Amino acid sequence: MQENFVRSQRPAPGVLPDLVGLEELRAVEQDAPFIEKALHSGIQGRFSGPGQGQRISYRRRRDCISKTVLAGKRRDLKMRRGLRPVLIYNRGTVRRHFILTAIGKDRPGIVADLAEMVFDLGCNLETSSMINLGSEFATMLLLSGRGDDLHQRLHMTCKHLEYEKGMTIFIKPIEEGAGPASPPGGRPFRVRTMGEDKAGIVARTARAIADAGGNILELTSHLKTAASTGTPLYEMEIRFDLPRSVDPDGLRRTLQTIEESLHIDITLSPV
């Protein structure tokens, strides 16, 4: 596979590195490298290639401008300020999955920025979890897409988003074919806790579930203030799978011990 025809340019002080300068990009058939997108306004690039026609879309805030790269033709494409290239790449045949975790200051538009990034890369957003944590906004996304270079494109685009929007983003490829930690046929359960906020509620409850052979699927918790007394109250809910060979009564007895020790309410119920 050919290398990408992309050269980084060091931005001037105080200028956002809208990314890369394009030298020459070649569009060829199917298994050729994708046409890398350039985010830096004012860059000029040339597109050529013996392959079939490729289409590149540039999106302004409200309108789209499209240009077509014709087979066997060479043309200059001047990128104007305010336009950002959307995607051109080799889709390939293998679908790959990634987990993307993003954290940033809570603000209007943070979800839209992430969703547009996923869309522009031609990825599919399969599962997501988003929450406001104090003054920060955190999200975890399960993405899928095609192309051997997908990891590289994700990494490059996320670095741009980090610099431009002040976010922290992590990307982890998922091993294809890897199954869940829970064995098939496990029984789903739910644990709920409620009581005065104390150290050890999460740690001791999670350890009891793990020691019983349970696999936690989701944990949500929040702190609130009692209306009558002003006492901080901690609420938590854990969803987990328990192997069918495990007696839930043993776990229930362990949770009752924690309940008495911490003076909180704990309930265990099947889902």
Tell me, yes or no, whether 90 lies in a domain: no
Q: In what order do the strands lie in the sheet with 124-133?
A: 124-133, 136-146, 95-105, 168-173
Same domain, 167 and 220: no
167 pLDDT higher than 50: yes
Share of the chain above pLDDT 90, in %: 54
Cα–Cα distance between 186 and 248 in angstroms, integer? 12
For residues 62 and 84, the answer to whether their CB atoms sit within 8 Å is no
Same domain, 99 and 80: no
Would you state the structure tokens that stand for residue 40, as one six-digit string? Answer: 């830096």
The whole model's pTM is what? 0.60
Cα–Cα distance between 231 and 243 in angstroms, integer? 38
Average pLDDT of span 159-188: 82
Same domain, 57 and 107: no
Among 46, 63, 85, identify where a domain stops.
85
Same domain, 72 and 17: yes
| CATH code for the domain of 237 | 3.30.70.260
Same domain, 201 and 264: yes
Closest by CA to 126, choosing from 146, 148, 151, 98, is 98
Q: Which residue has the tokens 């709920």?
A: 192
Q: Is 196 left (phi over 0), alpha (psi -120 to 50) or beta?
A: beta
Q: In this predicted structure, which of 59-63, 78-82, 216-220, 230-234 has the lowest mean pLDDT?
A: 59-63
Among 85, 103, 128, identify where a domain stops.
85
Looking at the 3D structure of the chain, how many domains does it have? 3
96 pLDDT higher than 70: yes
Among 51, 85, 119, identify where a domain stops.
85
Cα–Cα distance between 124 and 119 in angstroms, integer? 7
Q: Is 165 left (phi over 0), alpha (psi -120 to 50) or beta?
A: alpha
Cα–Cα distance between 195 and 122 in angstroms, integer? 46
Same domain, 18 and 76: yes
Task: Note the pLDDT of residue 186.
Answer: 85
Q: What is the pLDDT of residues 131-153, one digit of tens each?
A: 999 899 999 999 999 888 899 99
For residues 1 and 148, the answer to whether their CB atoms sit within 8 Å is yes
**Phi, psi (rounded to 5 degrees) for 161:** -65, -35
Share of the chain above pLDDT 70, in %: 62
Domain range for 230 is 187-270
Same domain, 220 and 261: yes
Neighbours of 6 (CB within 10 A): 18
